[in-house]
Amino acid sequence: MGEKVTDRVEAAGLVDGGGAAGPGDAERTLVDDMVRVATEFLDSLPEALSARAVRTPFDDPAVEAERVRWFYTPTDHGGVPLGELSPRQQGLAMRLLASGLTRPAYATACVIMGLENVLDELEGWSVDWGRERTRDPGLYWVRVFGRPGDPLWGWRVGGHHVSVNLLIHEGRIAASTPSFLGANPATSPLLAGTLRPLGGAEDLARSVMGSLRRPDQARALLHPRAISDIVSGNRARVRPGDRMMHLQDLFRGPLPTPELSALAHRLDEAAERDSGYTEQDHETMALTHDPQGVPAHEMTGEQRGLLRELLAAYTDRSPAPVADAYRRHYLVEHNLDRVHFGWAGSVSPGEPHYYRLTGPRLLIEYDNTQRAANHAHSVWRDPDGDFGMDLLASHRTEIPH
């Protein structure tokens, strides 16, 4: 079927760490644990919930269409929600989620899920999206595709501001993107402190932008005003020319009532009004074939170090063996050289802003614009290999017809 994620990044310039327990051993151990936890989770479910939690067979076109249909809005993400599970089943679901992330990424995801309670209070407990409780930490869905341990299977955990997608083939991790994390509010007061789940990814990017010389800042600036959302949206595949999707199109099907549809339109119009964007502005910010912004090969050593840490804030969202491989990948100079950094909006903290990292098999986007720059979205994607599509395409061409 072709190479896996770790094979791809190793082939691009990595040197295997070597030793008796190399990255491949760690990856196989992790996948074995995923199989055990996913199997135990599915076995724990009554028949009605199990029928919703798992979609088979993997190669069914309807199953594939659902697997690549992902969201980051408060809509039904598909599968079974945590709120319908017993405490033991919830624990197994969270173990599965943790297996697909590094520990820092898992902690971040847990904080984001808990922010639903904070957002409920911030909105006066009154926002209505057509369900009993709109901001609900129980509305994070788990779905398995294929059967755990099969040669080809995968899983997803998703809900408001979280989408984690894994594909496994023959005991190896074949894909771990798209990977989305958001935060609303992006900044919350704590007793003698402040909570910023995505603050590191924001501050590192601002440091990169702030460290550039004025001529390079001008080259990095994609637009003087920030766009109101990530441009790639929740598309199954991203392509050059893609423009920002609007809120109404980011839900599972049409909203169920005219009132909810009108609410989505009002929120979208408010976001567009705040950004001041016209159709020409959206065209300017569309995704492009050639990377935009300042390339890493023109940065100083200090700026390149900041850029590596910023990249790791996204690639560390994958399982640990894959995350480690990506860190080694970007230590290789010519791999980092091809990454470009672009920015839109203000560089001042607390002001609306957006940034984008692009390069071979890389698209990273971050925006913090809505709710007066207190509502952040961030996504890491592989335009060629999201959901393992490149590997699956290669596999299908090898199958005799």
Assign 3-class secondary structure to 283-318: HHCCCCCCCCCEEHHHCCHHHHHHHHHHHHHHHCCC
pLDDT at 129: 85
Report how far apart, in Å, the C-alpha atoms of 200 and of each of 184, 222, 318 are.
Answer: 15, 22, 17
Peptide bond into 185 cis (omega under 30): yes
pTM: 0.94
- Give per-residue pLDDT as tens, 144-199: 999 999 999 999 999 999 999 999 999 999 999 999 999 999 999 999 999 999 99
Express each pLDDT in 349-381 by its tens digit: 999 999 999 999 999 999 999 999 999 999 999
Q: What is the CA 380 to chain-centroid distance, rounded?
A: 5
Query: Which two three-digit tokens encode residue 60?
Result: 């069914």
pLDDT of 19 strictly over 90? no
- Quickly state the pLDDT bin for 396 (edges 50, 70, 90): low
Cα distance between the two ends of the chain: 16
At residue 82, φ and ψ (nearest 5 deg) are -55, -35
Q: What is the pLDDT of residue 130?
A: 84
Q: How many other CB atoms are there within 10 angstroms of residue 22's CB atom?
A: 12
Condensed to tens digits (0 to 9), the pLDDT of residues 76-125 reads 999 999 999 999 999 999 999 999 999 999 999 999 999 999 999 999 99
Q: Give Cα separations from 273 to 269, 270, 305, 318, 365 (angstroms).
A: 6, 5, 37, 36, 21
For the chain, the domain total comes to: 1
Residue 122 to residue 125: CA distance in whole angstroms: 7
- Residue 59 belongs to domain spanning: 5-398
